Structure 1
Amino acid sequence: MNMKNEGVQPKFEFGLYTLGDLSIDIQTGHKISPAQRLHEIVEAAKLADEAGIDVFGVGEHHRLDFALSSPPVVLAAIAQATKRIRLTSATTVLSTADPVRVFEDFATLDLLSNGRAEIISGRGAFLESFPLFGYALDDYHALFQENLTLLQELNRHSKLTWKGAFRSDLQNAEIAPRPIQSELPIWIGVGGTPASAALAGTYGTGMALAILGGDPSKLQHLVKTYRQAGKNAGHDPQHLQVGITSHGYIAKTTEQAFNEFYPYYANYTSHFNGNRLESSTLTRDAFEQLAGPDTALAVGSPERIAEKILTQHKMFGHTRYMLQMDIGGVPFSRIAAAIELLATEVAPIVHRELRKQSQDRSIRT
């Protein structure tokens, strides 16, 4: 999606993303190898491309229990195996990255993919990159804001003079290569903080709002904050795009989806959380409540998933929905089947209903 096209109403896009967790196999007790995980991620992106999914994202963690630490490298591999799907980080931990290197990597990806690169930038859910790359946690917010400012300037100018607080100065520096797109689309990943939503609006980037569970209506204020901040900063509302990212899984029936996904979701939640500590095992009853019809956890039949997306669209008016399904060791064959259902059953339902709603509004006006 090019958010710079004047006067063009963007279509509703469907995407997939992965963080590449290396979970213990609940059948064998062994952990999948990083090499196999990466090969399966590339294959999943290829299947998504062939099925007509719009965007594929890969995350960034610097831990031994994740396979993805270098999104542009993995996305470059995916670029060679795909033809049309857009390629994004999910997310680039911008607080602890050199914005010049980030821009050059993704500009190179844009050239290799014939103009399909995007960046979702964020602070990251984990903090291991700060000591790893020599940054102070006390600078958590200031680093992100300065690096985001510089990244936007790099995106706009092929030569740049820059002075900041955290990196060496740039003096008429040549910023190469330049991407195929006039500018790389930049989004900011937002969790639950109004300050992050306001920052995305102020900078005029897209906002990728993570809603991994719970009642999505409780996050409507973040979208309002984002759009108001964008308006106050003078940005065109058409450029202020919202994407929703969620966990989920799709099968032919909701019962089948619950049966197939629950063991792996419980496996994932027992090993991965913000404190990097194991928690008590998630019960089946608790899981079914988390995946209830009014929650953000998108597990069920194509019809159930489409209904959740459409309900959220009434709340947020978002133009992109990205789903993470490959968590906790879900077998690749099941992920492949779920990708096909997202493309051939969920997306047509949502597109058809959104077209109908648009036509109804046109008639009323």
Structure 2
Amino acid sequence: MQFGIFTIGDLASDPTTGRAPSEHERIKAMVALAQKAEEVGLDVFATGEHHNRPFVPSSPTTMLGYVAARTERIMLSTATTLITTNDPVKIAEDYAMLQHLADGRVDLMMGRGNTGPVYPWFGKDIRDGINLAIENYALLRRLWREDVVDWEGRYRTPLQGFTSTPRPLDDVPPFVWHGSIRSPEIAEQAAYYGDGFFHNNIFWPKEHTQRMIELYRERYAHYGHGTAEQAIVGLGGHVYMRHNSQDAVREFRPVFDRSPVMGGGVSLEEYMRQTPLTVGTPEQVIEKTLTFREYAGDYQRQLFIVDGGGLSLKTALEQLDMLGEEVVPVLREEFAKNRSAGVPDAPTHASLLAARDSGRAQTADPVA
């Protein structure tokens, strides 16, 4: 099972000092988080893609390429790649290039973003959001898997004899997760292709998350990719830790109260009861995270938010130290217990390459 962090790259004022970092400081802080995540033994670093304030990560491939040059092992991913408003041709070429530069340590998560105005900014209509996600991804798959593509669709100009360059590393495209909070059409899309499904459950009660994952698993099996238990699932999480739980709550409460997406409604305590947010000790994070399997089944990827909301880089790095030293080792051991034998690991470039070569060997002419 993979453990890592994802960041949305928001710019917010520190609730205790009132100081907001500059864009330059925030971008550099995200890089520092990625390097620290590898240092403490995590498996994945993922960044969002946003084109609106107060966010800074408008170019994930630029950031991840920079991080790739400064790391050796950690998987580099996106917490959202905007399949609706980005050109599939550009996605195909950009992420294939990144895949080469990172020696295969790349996958990506398709999503539709967090703001409506992004659609007209890129010449699209938000009312076409689901259809754009479906059509654009169908083209992206072909661009990565066919050397020469002739294509005509509804939302972009046709392609005639087009070859996307560079080709994917070893002719194995990056693994794709489809991220969605509330859209069953996206769970269906992930299941249809046998791709991964990432439910960013940080704002939602477990009952909703369970329904979405069960739909994906059922349809994954329906399309013949394996059993429902073999479907590839990822989950989000949000943590703030101190070795004294009262200290954690006291420090995080101002962050929660000032948050435009968390605060202003229910209390912090009620929010923690209803969602995966855990504010407390490392032991409490372990206890809460282990409950995710009760409604999601055995799954492959767990990503946490440890920054944002005005938290300083120093504080976020402290969270990573606790994750790497005290939380993730225990979670690895506990999640491995009673894990069904047929549940696969999260795909990597190496495992996808081996599966492809194994399939070729099994279908080869014995005489040849």
- How high is the TM-score relative to the length of structure 2? 0.86
Give deviations 1:259-297, integer Å, cap 9, x for gaps: 22222232223xx58xxxxx74x68xx1122123x6411
* Structure 1 match to 2:334: 353
Q: How does 1:339-350 map to 2 (within 5 A)?
A: 339-350=320-331
Q: 1:334 aligns with which of 308, 315, 336?
A: 315
Q: 2:38 aligns with which of 41, 49, 67?
A: 49
Residue 231 of structure 2 is aligned to residue 240 of structure 1: yes
Give deviations 1:53-91, integer Å, cap 9, x for gaps: 111111111113111111111111111111111111110
**In 2 relative to 1, CA 197–69 (structure 1 residues): closer, same or farther, beyond 3 Å?**
same
**In 2 relative to 1, CA 28–306 (structure 1 residues): closer, same or farther, beyond 3 Å?**
closer
* Structure 1 match to 2:187: 197
**In 2 relative to 1, CA 128–306 (structure 1 residues): closer, same or farther, beyond 3 Å?**
same
CA distance in 1, matches of 2:182, 2:109: 16
Residue 205 of structure 2 is aligned to residue 215 of structure 1: yes
Q: State the 1:360 CA deviation.
A: 11
Q: State the 1:239 CA deviation.
A: 6.1
* Structure 1 match to 2:80: 91
Q: Secondary structure at the match of 2:33?
A: helix
Q: Secondary structure at the match of 1:145?
A: helix
**In 2 relative to 1, CA 97–221 (structure 1 residues): closer, same or farther, beyond 3 Å?**
same
Question: Retained in 2: the 8 A contact 1:206–1:239?
Answer: no
Q: Percent identity?
A: 33
Q: 1:228 aligns with which of 218, 226, 250?
A: 218
CA distance in 2, matches of 1:194, 1:254: 37
The letter of the residue matching 2:221 is: K
Q: Secondary structure at the match of 2:338?
A: helix
Q: 1:264 aligns with which of 249, 255, 258?
A: 255
Q: Secondary structure at the match of 1:327?
A: coil
Runs of 4+ in 1 over 6 A off after TM superposition: none
Q: State the 1:125 CA deviation.
A: 2.0
Q: 1:291 aligns with which of 272, 279, 286?
A: 272
Q: State the 1:34 CA deviation.
A: 0.7
Q: Secondary structure at the match of 1:257?
A: helix
**In 2 relative to 1, CA 360–79 (structure 1 residues): closer, same or farther, beyond 3 Å?**
closer
Unaligned runs of 5+ residues in structure 1 are 1-11, 274-278
* Structure 2 match to 1:126: 115
Q: How many residues get paired?
A: 339
Q: State the 1:244 CA deviation.
A: 0.2
Question: Retained in 2: the 8 A contact 1:23–1:268?
Answer: no
**In 2 relative to 1, CA 239–120 (structure 1 residues): closer, same or farther, beyond 3 Å?**
farther
Q: 1:77 aligns with which of 66, 78, 91?
A: 66
CA distance in 2, matches of 1:74, 1:321: 22
* Structure 2 match to 1:170: 159
Question: Retained in 1: the 8 A contact 2:148–2:162?
Answer: yes
The letter of the residue matching 2:51 is: H
Residue 121 of structure 2 is aligned to residue 146 of structure 1: no
Question: Retained in 2: the 8 A contact 1:57–1:87?
Answer: yes
Residue 285 of structure 2 is aligned to residue 305 of structure 1: yes
- How high is the TM-score relative to the length of structure 1? 0.87
Question: Retained in 2: the 8 A contact 1:213–1:246?
Answer: no
Q: Secondary structure at the match of 1:96?
A: coil
Q: 2:241 aligns with which of 239, 250, 254?
A: 250
* Structure 1 match to 2:53: 64
**In 2 relative to 1, CA 163–32 (structure 1 residues): closer, same or farther, beyond 3 Å?**
same
CA distance in 2, matches of 1:27, 1:220: 37
Give deviations 1:107-164, integer Å, cap 9, x for gaps: 1111111111111001112112111111112222211110111112222223222211
Q: State the 1:20 CA deviation.
A: 0.7
Unaligned runs of 5+ residues in structure 2 are 343-368
The letter of the residue matching 2:92 is: F
Q: 1:137 aligns with which of 110, 118, 126?
A: 126
Q: State the 1:25 CA deviation.
A: 2.7
Give deviations 1:1-35, integer Å, cap 9, x for gaps: xxxxxxxxxxx111101111111232443421110
CA distance in 2, matches of 1:122, 1:314: 26
